[in-house]
Structure 1
């Protein structure tokens, strides 16, 4: 089956990603609560959370290399097994060291699933469909991020350490079961033709330095890092802002849910936005607006205004992740597109490790609102980088395929061959 054909595989991938991401989003706060119940202090909780992002740093590029010249689909069930196992085993862990270990396993599973899934979307989508398909794919992540924390909060409770340990363990076991549901959507998810092409010769490995020097790859990595850092720090520090401003935790939860819902809405209308502005202009405008909105959170505005800021911010942040994937895929050299996506994920993980640490330092010196100003500066920098990213090929933004090479052969009716490097 040629790329751009039946998209039933994409719907199944979105469903599977929703359950996998929902499990992780439910488990991460539950891990912190269970660690606290086991006697961890704030530093130990930070270390356990950091292991989730740190371990995958060493596995991303090797997994991307393997996927460039192999099938994508096997990484998906492997990722689900590691996610579900890491969640459930965290629920029965009896020490902080074991908690850290299973947190790392969960992070590795999430990395395996995301690398396999992103490579699958890149490989099985025609070039002019990649923006749309990546946008739809990331709806699964947004749904998981929306539902997971709410589900964790509904399960976790208790006044004492013993009650907290029990309810957090229950939440982790529930997260493991939720992740396992993703198996039901992974059947025959990779097209036979693209799977056969991926098993071609090993080819020559493109050096990482050459990938990073390809115009557009660093821009995609930086934009993705900035957007993910903004989302993570917003989730971590908005409760702190609420505490200082006297906003109830339940209201903060609603505000964060509004942000996630706006991100989903953005990805549902991504295709008409691309037709209107094009990828480069859309990335530039939304990153610049997100920078201003992040800085606006630092102002002492009323709750209703804060809600409006977060809805607008969630909409703007929803653009960065899917379009940065397309930017990286289309800018990467032949034979290295999965590796380029893995490098993008490595940048994400670095941001997840470094951004909270930097935010903590800034907040300690300049106050709890200062991290949002820092994020504004980072997003403004990514907006400037987006301006210099490669322009999309003519006709691509409005769904046409033209020109020479792969796109030209598609327009002339010649079957478009999707090689293992996509």
Structure 2
């Protein structure tokens, strides 16, 4: 819902493309700084406590957006929501990563991502419908606060390993430990590269597609439908990720095809001037994005030990949030100097460049695995 509500609220306040980029990017500032320390918190206290705590912080952030006027409320709320979202995602991924390995873990992360996509499909539709019905954002942030609170309280039902923490030292979960892991573990490097490419595309798409559609004078309902389409496609394919990987010929080929799909869809988006063309390109972005993020999580989970997992997931999410923070700023700067065509085109080219780097990393990953004694 925030994907639609925040840009529309910014436009209501008269935000320029660069100011809108600052507002949208602010959600990812604190997660970039605190992702690794929060990974240690999840390891020590368990996923259930940190999941519920994150929901409470998210509720507070949405309330700030509702009660504080102007850009102050938007930016302060975005800061808290970004921190809360990081905490909840990190808790959930840590719980899931301990459940299995191999194709079963691919399936679990596929279903996890499916439910996330489901929320991303329904959310923009609800937000677009509300804005159309109310004639503006109105009390939408208050409604979202109630939804976040109910969702977080449902986490109290978690049992088993989700309630258990582990005793770990700072040497296992701190910044130096993750930097060392990043340098020597090729699987972690592959996971982070996939994350950077996928999240850059999703950050640009999610932040500026509503603005682009508004510039084409589309209705709030149509904006909600088109923004949701990418998530809908991702949701549909994610339960079948193990089968897709098997049909294509492995994780490496699946990843490269996914990034090519994202690159083409994103790069051509600014040249599409009607709803059917934008819908087709959104489907391409959804197909690629639906595969990249679950694959990134699976590769990382299988590349580190249990005691390192939360910290490594925190490092992955730090890269995730760093890209989310920078992508709207870079896109907004280019957009202010040129137009949507060039901005989306350059974004697609950047994803393609990261795919080339990833291809080389995957080659090194194969060599390192073959050289490991059985």
Determine the C-alpha separation between the residues in 2 that align with 1:65 and 1:321. Answer: 22
Question: Are 1:134 and 2:109 matched, yes or no?
Answer: yes
Q: CA deviation at 1:226?
A: 1.8
Structure 1 residues 290 and 49, CA gap change in structure 2 (3 angstroms): closer
Report Cα offsets for 1:270-325 as digits up to 9, x if no partner: 12112222212211111123222323334457643432232132112110111111
3-state SS of paired residue (2:172)? coil
Q: What pairs with 1:320-399 in structure 2 (closer than 5 Å)? A: 320-332=292-304, 335-387=307-359, 388-389=361-362, 390=365
| RMSD, aligned α-carbons | 3.1
8 Å contact from structure 1 (residues 223, 379) kept in 2: no
Question: Are 1:107 and 2:82 matched, yes or no?
Answer: yes
The aligned counterpart of 1:125 is 100
3-state SS of paired residue (1:82)? helix
Which ranges in structure 1 are unaligned for 5 or more consecutive residues? Answer: 1-25, 395-402, 406-422
The aligned counterpart of 1:47 is 22
Question: Are 1:58 and 2:29 matched, yes or no?
Answer: no
Q: 1:191 aligns with which of 143, 160, 170?
A: 160
Would you tell me which structure has more helix in proportion to its own residues? 2
3-state SS of paired residue (1:156)? helix
Question: Are 1:205 and 2:169 matched, yes or no?
Answer: no
Question: Are 1:293 and 2:262 matched, yes or no?
Answer: no
Higher CA-based Rg: 1
Q: 1:317 aligns with which of 269, 285, 289?
A: 289
Please, what TM-score do these two structures have when normalized by structure 1?
0.76
3-state SS of paired residue (1:125)? coil
Q: 2:206 aligns with which of 222, 235, 247?
A: 235
Determine the C-alpha separation between the residues in 2 that align with 1:309 and 1:97. Answer: 35
Q: 1:270 aligns with which of 238, 241, 251?
A: 241
Aligned length: 363
Please, what TM-score do these two structures have when normalized by structure 2?
0.85
Determine the C-alpha separation between the residues in 1 that align with 2:167 and 2:223. Answer: 51
Structure 1 residues 305 and 338, CA gap change in structure 2 (3 angstroms): same
Determine the C-alpha separation between the residues in 1 that align with 2:260 and 2:229. Answer: 21
Structure 1 residues 117 and 404, CA gap change in structure 2 (3 angstroms): farther
Determine the C-alpha separation between the residues in 1 that align with 2:320 and 2:35. Answer: 11
